[in-house]
A and B are shown apart, each in its own frame.
Chain A
Amino acid sequence: MATNVIKDNKNKYVKFTKEQKKESFKYYKNAFKKTYKYLLLDFVFMVLDVVCELSIPFVSKNLVSGVGRLVENNTWEVMQDVCINVGIMSALAVLGLGFGIMCMYLSTKFANLFTYSIRNDLFGKIQQFSFKNLDHFDVSSLVTRITSDCNNIRLCLTMIGRMGLKTPLMVIVSAVYMFIMDFKLAFIIIGIALVISIILTLIITKAVPLFSVTQKKLDNLNLEVEEQCNGIKEIKAFVKEDYMLGKFDKANESLKQTSVKVYSLINVNYPIVLFGLNIVNALILYYFGMQAQAFDYDSLSGLISSFTSYGITILMAFNFFSVLLLQLVRATASKHRLDEVFVEEIDIPYIEKTKTGDFDPNLVLSGDIEFKNCGLSYHNDPNKLAVGPLNLRINQGEIVGIVGGTGSGKTSLINLIPRLYDTTIGEVKVGGVNVKDYSVQALRDAIGVVSQKNLLFSGTIKENILWGKKDATDEELKQALDLSCSSEFVNTFLDKENTYVSQGGKSVSGGQKQRLSIARALIKNPKILILDDATSAVDTITESKIKRAFYNELKDTTVLLIAQRISSVKDADKIIVLDNGNMVGLGKHDELLKSCKVYKEIYELQNSGVTE
């Protein structure tokens, strides 16, 4: 049992080294390489779009003052002028529409494809993870990274692609126009906009840390729900519904209070922008009203309307920056979580190995196993070994039992054979060759493992068994099902081996699941078969049937049986007794009863019921 592995702290913010940053950057660079052309093209259209959009207030000013002049001076020439402006503006609108649509298309394409690529890389990276790497992450946190975190990055990229260039351009051009029209007023308006954007930024920086607090409280609440689901039988049996509800209410109240804080902060942003806008509007009227005598009245209305519209543009742009800032903060946190996966160093990588002389690293020739002074530490510390150091030879075809209490290192020991973990000290040899010299795939192909926590995947029984051998014939399938005593129940199903099973589903019982897992390993026709407490839920009669099959049918296969009960391994060719990670006994059942104190103790304890 891997009880002593280190789970990394989910909430700790680890700083990356330069190499790690470089490593993770590789993935983003790769994604960018595939998508940058969309972004470039997007920017081209965006510039065109901005030109159209900003020309509109300019033309509209002419249009409005044209109509204004018409009121004073109703002549055909002025009307002509109005008509020309109408034409120009319509054309601009149509062009703007085209450019706008192109922008939307390209920016969406860019963001989606970029995220798509990152998501594939992420899943691909996780597929390369070794057992040790997997110990560092929760499944649920990995799934969140694949879904929510990637989505946060997509949202941020979409925003940048859509407005990232447009907004600064709009701000600059609007500012320039305003300065041309009236230097003093432009200065005041931009000043107001800056003050407001500082306020917005302050609010957001205050809200950001609260986000993670909310997340933590939400996690707490979810934990309560999870406990309600998992412990429902206990809760009902002990009539503790009210107690659990009380606990839930506490978590709920605490979540509510933080949420109120966060939303109160975030939601005031827009009113502030709106207030700023109104002040600017009033200011413009006041400003021009004070100097109305100096202006000609007709051009005043045009000036006021242009100024107002540029003012709106600038303030809205700053509002957008605050939203973008928020999204950037989220995306950065998400990126950091992705990077944690990307920088994870794979300790058992898949490297293609080529033939050297007589040795073919892609072929395991025999099922001999040898442990040479080897030991494993989950902390990479030779002084804290979970198992070992030990020396041991197992010959091809032998059936070997491994017994010992919880935490005695049984699973740790067998994990070394298919290189699920690498030894901390010493070496493991299979077929006379160090396991590290084989290509990982070839080694694992030659070894069948039925683990303690066996799982089936969604699909038919047949599909699940064929995991062991893709191109297995029906004959082979039948044989594997027979040997594992699965046929007897599979044949009672309506759809036989085409019956659908799901990972969490209850269509097969625990014992049946174990038998199918054994079939899945058997169909590989492995050189070495490892069963880690794999028949615990199988009833005793079936268990003995399965074991009988191993003795009779798997003559050339080395079989390693981990068991809690001595009765399960009594007949083995060799029995290894582990205690606290050390091998304290090795031999046949009868010999061990005489020579090994630990073994004898376990045996007596287990049989006390019978002899009583």
Chain B
Amino acid sequence: MERVTTRGSTYRTKPKNVFQSIKRTLKYLSASKVKFTFCIFAIFLNVFVNLSGTYLIKVILDNVIKPISEGKLDSIYSLYVFLGMIGCYALSFLFYIIEIMLLVRISQDGLKRMRNELSNKLLNLPLTFYDKNTHGDIMSRFTNDIDMINEMYSSSFNEILISVLSVIIIGVYLFVLNWVMALVAFVFIPIVLMTINFFSKRTRKEFHATQLKLGELEGYSEEILQGQRIVKTFNKEDDCLNEFKQINTEFNEHSFKSVFNSTLTIPIVNNINSINFVICCLVAGLLVFFNVNIPGAIVTTGVLASFINFIRQFTRPLNRITQQINVVLAALAGADRVFNLLDMKDEDDNDNAVYSLVEEDEKRYWTDGNVKIAVKGDIRLYGVDFSYVKNQPILHDISLYAKPGQKIAFVGSTGAGKTTITNLLTRFYDIDEGRITIDGIDLSKIDRKSMRKSMTLVLQDTHLFSGTIMDNIRFGNLNATDEECIEAGKISHADNFINKLPDGYNTVISGTNDTLSQGQRQLLSIARCAVSNPPILILDEATSSVDTRTEKYISMGMDELMKNKTTFVIAHRLSTVQNADAIMVLEHGQIIERGNHEELLEERGRYYSLCIGAAKLE
């Protein structure tokens, strides 16, 4: 049995292998290579044009405005230059906008693909996966993790590319303008980077702690609010509030540290920048003052103005890169979780199935391509052992047979292994030891989906899907017409209550609401089986919370359904047991008694005492 010791789910903020994760994440974007290449080109163009504007300041000051101010050039040239600049800017703006539109589409396409893959994976994972993972955990793949990847796709990608290009282009321009001053300015790059790195390390640590605490806060709230009615009947409100406050305090402390550390870089980098600016000016001054005449290091007013403008733009991209790195790391950690799930083994992965189900002339056959065997519903178990968790056997040495059309009932106390047997027949789980055959074919040789098509199942706690009653019945057989569905409703005696609903068969129900009682849900699930009508039937009778009138309908519906089918039923009603061809009494995962009702009563064993115990209560 699993033991959960933490409230919040574990939350990693760092991906395991950064490069592999990046590669795999980017794969989802590269669906359209042409568009993707265009995007990168557009970003480059845009950055280049924007930054060249700053370089132009120098060119224009020295080559246009200076001659104009000295009267050597007509001032109309200033207008030409202006129009040229505006043209360039407009062009780059246009490219930028197109790039954004494209990137949004590419990334949303990628996300959609990722979500679809996830959903497909979920549908094909074995049930053991669902035993080990809470629904909340699974949901958070679709919400939190995908959300972070979305954030990365739609902002970080652009930002990082722009910032890196900016740093490079600015660097080149600085060098071109005046390489001595550029070298001085470059000294600040490692300083800035080190500062940023120092704080972002601390931020990441605190961010991780914050997320953990947030998980705890969320988990605690969820749990207490879920049980709020019980909290009230036990007068535990104050205790709960105090515990909440404590978790909230811890969460708040970490959250504060994480936010403060991450924002500290803003004033620090800003002011380092000012110092950088000052020192560049000083160096420029000294270069002039000492009349240094090194080629490529000549200071003119234009050089100065343009240089200083570049310096101003130099640290902003550095800052943006580091901010985005945190986003990217978080997103990659999310992507890791998504990929982990996607890499899990499907239910069918280790199958060596050769047989599948075919339908010809309204008859079903098993076939491996050569032989055809009619599906009759003859099921045999030979010495079956099974455990959900290794070394904790649930079933031991189960052997039984069911001839076509027979009805086998399982009885026994909770935890005896009744439901487990049905889980094995549907191959929700695979057996450890022994053999199960259907119509003489080993179960493992039959394709899982085909095998399931040969049987149908009524669970104790039926899940209904959002949609109309009709949709839910049709779930059993998507090709069924409305008439067939209504017919199935009648056979299963579900139409008694369906007709009382405001919109009859078209009443919309939601999967989670409780407008339908458990009994009514079970009736619908019987109707669902009736519409699919395969030769094998597995029933888990509801134990409780069914009012008597509904129960009567359920039993009538089930009896109708069981006609001419091989049936396995987990029985709670005496009448069901009495009608069974064979009753298996289970205790601690073993069949301890078997026979029909009369035989077992005569045996005066466990079955007898169960009946008497019940009789005493009846």
Quick check: A79 and B309 within 8 Å, CB to CB?
Answer: no
Quick check: A131 and B229 within 8 Å, CB to CB?
Answer: yes
Quick check: A71 and B115 within 8 Å, CB to CB?
Answer: no
Q: Tell me the residues in window 105-152 of chain A with beta carbons closer than 8 Å to chain B beta carbons.
A: 105, 108-109, 112-113, 115-116, 119-120, 123-124, 126-131, 134, 139-140, 142-143, 146-147
Q: Which of B86, B232, B275, B544 contacts A93 (CB 8 A)?
A: B275
Which stretch, A15-23, A188-196, A220-228, A376-384, touches the partner chain B?
A220-228
Contact with B along A513-536 (1 / 0, CB 8 A): 000000010001000000001001
Chain B residues lying within 8 Å of A608, measured Cβ to Cβ, are 552, 575
Chain A residues lying within 8 Å of B186, measured Cβ to Cβ, are none
Quick check: A240 and B274 within 8 Å, CB to CB?
Answer: no
Q: Does B57 contact A (CB under 8 A)?
A: yes
Q: Does B344 contact A (CB under 8 A)?
A: no
Quick check: A278 and B89 within 8 Å, CB to CB?
Answer: yes
| Interface residue SS majority, chain A | helix
Contact with B along A370-413 (1 / 0, CB 8 A): 00000000000000000000000000000000001111100000
Chain A residues lying within 8 Å of B20, measured Cβ to Cβ, are none
Quick check: A301 and B119 within 8 Å, CB to CB?
Answer: no
Q: Which of B50, B82, B119 contacts A286 (CB 8 A)?
A: B82
Q: Does B116 contact A (CB under 8 A)?
A: yes
Q: Does B293 contact A (CB under 8 A)?
A: no
Across the interface, name the chain A residue whose C-beta is closest to B109. A256
> By CB atoms of chain A within 10 A, which of B267, B279, B475, B574 has the most?
B267
Quick check: B617 and A540 within 8 Å, CB to CB?
Answer: yes
Quick check: B139 and A225 within 8 Å, CB to CB?
Answer: yes
Q: Does B252 contact A (CB under 8 A)?
A: yes
Quick check: B231 and A127 within 8 Å, CB to CB?
Answer: yes
Chain A residues lying within 8 Å of B225, measured Cβ to Cβ, are 126, 139, 142-143
Given A143-B221, A292-B75, the answer on whether A229 and B233 have CB atoms closer than 8 Å is no
Q: Which of B89, B299, B514 contacts A282 (CB 8 A)?
A: B89
Q: Which of B139, B475, B616 contacts A222 (CB 8 A)?
A: B139
Quick check: B610 and A420 within 8 Å, CB to CB?
Answer: no
| Range, interface on chain A | 35 or more
Across the interface, name the chain A residue whose C-beta is closest to B79. A286
Q: How far is the CB of B412 from chain A (nearest CB, A)?
A: 9
Q: Does A359 contact B (CB under 8 A)?
A: no
Chain B residues lying within 8 Å of A1, measured Cβ to Cβ, are 514, 517
Quick check: B122 and A228 within 8 Å, CB to CB?
Answer: yes
Quick check: A112 and B549 within 8 Å, CB to CB?
Answer: no
Q: Tell me the residues in window 129-175 of chain B with beta carbons closer than 8 Å to chain A beta carbons.
A: 130-131, 134-135, 138-139, 142-143, 150, 154-155
Quick check: B234 and A129 within 8 Å, CB to CB?
Answer: no
Q: Which of B245, B289, B617 contacts A544 (CB 8 A)?
A: B617
Chain A residues lying within 8 Å of B289, measured Cβ to Cβ, are 70, 74, 79
Q: How far is the CB of B598 from chain A (nearest CB, A)?
A: 14
Give the 7 A-B CB pairs with smallest separation, nearest first.
A100-B267, A536-B544, A289-B78, A609-B575, A286-B82, A405-B547, A93-B274
Across the interface, name the chain B residue whose C-beta is closest to A442. B235
Q: Which of B230, B232, B241 contacts A454 (CB 8 A)?
A: B230
Q: How far is the CB of A439 from chain B (nearest CB, A)?
A: 10
Q: What are 7 of the A-B contact pairs (CB < 8 Å)?
A: A100-B270, A134-B228, A222-B143, A252-B119, A285-B60, A304-B61, A543-B617
Quick check: A226 and B81 within 8 Å, CB to CB?
Answer: no
Q: Does A64 contact B (CB under 8 A)?
A: yes
Q: Tell me the residues in window 442-458 of chain A with beta carbons closer than 8 Å to chain B beta carbons.
A: 444-445, 447, 449, 451-455, 457-458
Q: Does B328 contact A (CB under 8 A)?
A: no
Quick check: B267 and A271 within 8 Å, CB to CB?
Answer: no
Quick check: A533 and B544 within 8 Å, CB to CB?
Answer: yes
Chain A residues lying within 8 Å of B337, measured Cβ to Cβ, are none
Quick check: A540 and B614 within 8 Å, CB to CB?
Answer: yes
Q: How far is the CB of B586 from chain A (nearest CB, A)?
A: 12
Q: Which of B86, B120, B548, B616 contacts A405 (CB 8 A)?
A: B548
Quick check: A304 and B223 within 8 Å, CB to CB?
Answer: no
Q: Which of A223, A468, A541 contacts B466 (CB 8 A)?
A: A223
Quick check: B119 and A245 within 8 Å, CB to CB?
Answer: yes
Quick check: B226 and A298 within 8 Å, CB to CB?
Answer: no
Q: How far is the CB of B166 from chain A (nearest CB, A)?
A: 12
Chain B residues lying within 8 Å of A245, measured Cβ to Cβ, are 116, 119-120, 123
With A85-B281, A225-B139 given, name 11 new contacts (CB 8 A): A86-B285, A109-B256, A139-B228, A232-B130, A238-B532, A263-B154, A282-B82, A292-B69, A305-B308, A533-B545, A609-B576
Across the interface, name the chain A residue whose C-beta is closest to B464. A231
Q: How far is the CB of B102 from chain A (nearest CB, A)?
A: 10
Q: How far is the CB of B259 from chain A (nearest CB, A)?
A: 5
Quick check: A79 and B414 within 8 Å, CB to CB?
Answer: no
Across the interface, name the chain A residue whose C-beta is closest to B138. A229
Quick check: A511 and B414 within 8 Å, CB to CB?
Answer: yes
Q: How far is the CB of A239 from chain B (nearest CB, A)?
A: 5
Q: Does B248 contact A (CB under 8 A)?
A: yes
> By CB atoms of chain A within 10 A, which of B214, B224, B266 has the most?
B224
Quick check: A129 and B449 within 8 Å, CB to CB?
Answer: no
For the complex, give the distance between the alpha carbons of A292 and B79 in Å. Answer: 12
For the complex, give the distance between the alpha carbons of A404 and B289 in Å. Answer: 103
Chain A residues lying within 8 Å of B139, measured Cβ to Cβ, are 222, 225-226, 229
Chain B residues lying within 8 Å of A282, measured Cβ to Cβ, are 53, 82, 85-86, 89
Chain B residues lying within 8 Å of A120, measured Cβ to Cβ, are 241, 244-245, 248
Q: Does B432 contact A (CB under 8 A)?
A: no
Quick check: A230 and B463 within 8 Å, CB to CB?
Answer: yes
Q: Tell me the residues in window 192-226 of chain A with beta carbons closer than 8 Å to chain B beta carbons.
A: 218, 221-226
Chain B residues lying within 8 Å of A252, measured Cβ to Cβ, are 112, 115-116, 119
Quick check: B256 and A108 within 8 Å, CB to CB?
Answer: yes
Quick check: A222 and B142 within 8 Å, CB to CB?
Answer: yes
Q: How far is the CB of B123 from chain A (nearest CB, A)?
A: 4
Across the interface, name the chain B residue whose C-beta is closest to A96. B271
Q: How far is the CB of B229 from chain A (nearest CB, A)?
A: 6
Contact with A along B443-483 (1 / 0, CB 8 A): 00000010011011101001111100000000110100000
Q: Which of A267, A524, A536 contacts B100 (CB 8 A)?
A: A267
Which stretch, A177-185, A500-508, A549-557, touches the partner chain B?
A500-508
For the complex, give the distance between the alpha carbons of A601 and B66 in Å. Answer: 108
Q: Tell me the residues in window 30-68 of chain A with beta carbons closer than 8 Å to chain B beta carbons.
A: 56, 60, 63-64, 66-68
Chain B residues lying within 8 Å of A25, measured Cβ to Cβ, are none
Q: Does B183 contact A (CB under 8 A)?
A: no
Quick check: B230 and A451 within 8 Å, CB to CB?
Answer: yes
Q: How far is the CB of B298 from chain A (nearest CB, A)?
A: 9
Q: Tell me the residues in window 232-253 of chain B with beta carbons closer than 8 Å to chain A beta carbons.
A: 232-238, 240-241, 244-245, 248-249, 252
Q: Does B70 contact A (CB under 8 A)?
A: yes
Chain A residues lying within 8 Å of B609, measured Cβ to Cβ, are 541
Quick check: B89 and A279 within 8 Å, CB to CB?
Answer: yes
Q: How far is the CB of B289 from chain A (nearest CB, A)?
A: 5
Across the interface, name the chain A residue whose C-beta is closest to B289. A79
Chain B residues lying within 8 Å of A231, measured Cβ to Cβ, are 463-465, 511
Quick check: A233 and B127 within 8 Å, CB to CB?
Answer: yes
Q: Does A474 contact B (CB under 8 A)?
A: no
For the complex, give the distance between the alpha carbons of A119 and B248 in Å. Answer: 8
Chain A residues lying within 8 Å of B543, measured Cβ to Cβ, are 536-537
Q: Does B441 contact A (CB under 8 A)?
A: no
Q: Which of A104, A218, A295, A568 contacts B617 (CB 8 A)?
A: A568
> By CB atoms of chain B within 10 A, which of A162, A256, A420 has the most?
A256
Q: Does B4 contact A (CB under 8 A)?
A: yes
Contact with B along A226-266 (1 / 0, CB 8 A): 11111111111111110111001100110110011001100
Q: Does A187 contact B (CB under 8 A)?
A: no
Q: Tell me the residues in window 274-312 of chain A with beta carbons closer than 8 Å to chain B beta carbons.
A: 274-275, 278-279, 281-283, 285-286, 288-293, 295-298, 300-301, 304-305, 308-309
For the complex, give the distance between the alpha carbons of A502 and B214 in Å. Answer: 19
For the complex, give the distance between the alpha carbons of A503 and B528 in Å. Answer: 32
Q: Which of B85, B263, B305, B574 contacts A162 (CB 8 A)?
A: B263
Q: Which of B90, B238, B476 contacts A238 (CB 8 A)?
A: B476
Quick check: A285 and B226 within 8 Å, CB to CB?
Answer: no
> By CB atoms of chain B within 10 A, which of A93, A222, A245, A605 has the most?
A93
